[in-house]
Amino acid sequence: MDPVTLDQVQLNFNPSGLAVINGAIGLMMLGVALDLKLADFKRIVTSPKAPVIGLAAQFILLPAFTFLLVMILRPFPSVALGMMLVAACPGGNLSNIMTYLSRGSTAVSISMTAVSTMAAIVMTPLNISFWGRMNPDTAPILQQVRLDPVDVFITVFIILGIPSIIGMSLGRYMPTLADRVRKPFKIFSLVFFILIVAGALAANWHYFLAYVGIVMVAVLLHNALALNIGYWSGRLFRLPEADCRAVCVEVGIQNSALGLVLVFNFFNGLGGMAILVAWWGIWHIISGLLTAFFFSRLRPDPGVVTP
């Protein structure tokens, strides 16, 4: 099989199919936002150290180190751009429960989720555009699709920003309704996330099997890098162990569902990107559970209250 094929294969979605995917991701984010409160944002002001370190690791260190990893590995350009896209996304909707299982600080985790979701509206398009154009292998793809950061900003705002505002408003002003729909939304989020990831892999299954080694190694190294950036950033700045675990999980669990939506909307379903992002979506669940299992066997620092 011609190695260039992975960079050339594309998934075609009609406008109505894309609208369904975008709407479903928006509903997923609304479900996540039902658990967010204004206090989660205020915590950044009252106890800023851990969330700020985490957000810096999320939106500055991870994209930069991903760029370096890509330059070392030199994967197919579409795979490389997929890695950069994942690194530009905010934390995933499973990060809070993974933090809980890791005996980390859920307060820090929820605060990071709240702020990173809003920050992603600006930081995600900026990071994709900046780091993608810095790499000579991925820059031609961005030029070919004529990626406009403003268009990405609008899409991310519609998918993340508006549902988050609606979800938080429901939680604040209609708490009874929010309590009633919270569990169904969480179930829907998990099921739909699995379906969209499985669909992306199934549509590229032939190529996934052909290049499974490349994709799995890239995702394994990339995810390990993300987890370590999060954890050791906290350790470097002497955060309590529970906070380090929260930052570790938040940086290591990425919103790959958002990444797939961006692949379909702006990169014409580019196969290498879709395969990489979809496999990331599967692997970070596995690695998150393994990380939680490892952390749960270790005692946190004395005096740190964890769930």
Which CATH topology does 13-296 take? Na+/H+ antiporter like fold (1.20.1530)
Taking only the tens place, the pLDDT of each residue in 235-277 is: 999 999 989 999 999 999 988 888 888 888 888 777 788 889 8
Q: Say what angle helices 271-296 and 256-266 make with each other, to 10 degrees.
A: 170
What 8-state DSSP symbol labels residue 299? Answer: P
Domain limits, the chain: 13-296
**121-160: b or e for each residue (b if 16 or more CB lie within 10 Å)?**
bebbbbbbbebbeebebbeebbeeeebeeeebbebbbebb
In the chain, what percentage of residues exceed pLDDT 70?
83
Q: What is the mean pLDDT of the chain?
A: 81
**Which among 12, 277, 269, 275 has a CA at the least distance from the CA of 141?**
269
What 8-state DSSP symbol labels residue 301? Answer: P
Query: 131, 70 in Cβ contact below 8 A?
Result: no
Is residue 8 scored above 70 in pLDDT? no
Rg of the chain, C-alpha, whole Å: 18
Q: What is the pTM of this model?
A: 0.82
Q: Say what angle helices 271-296 and 175-203 make with each other, to 10 degrees.
A: 120
Residue with token string 């940086």: 251
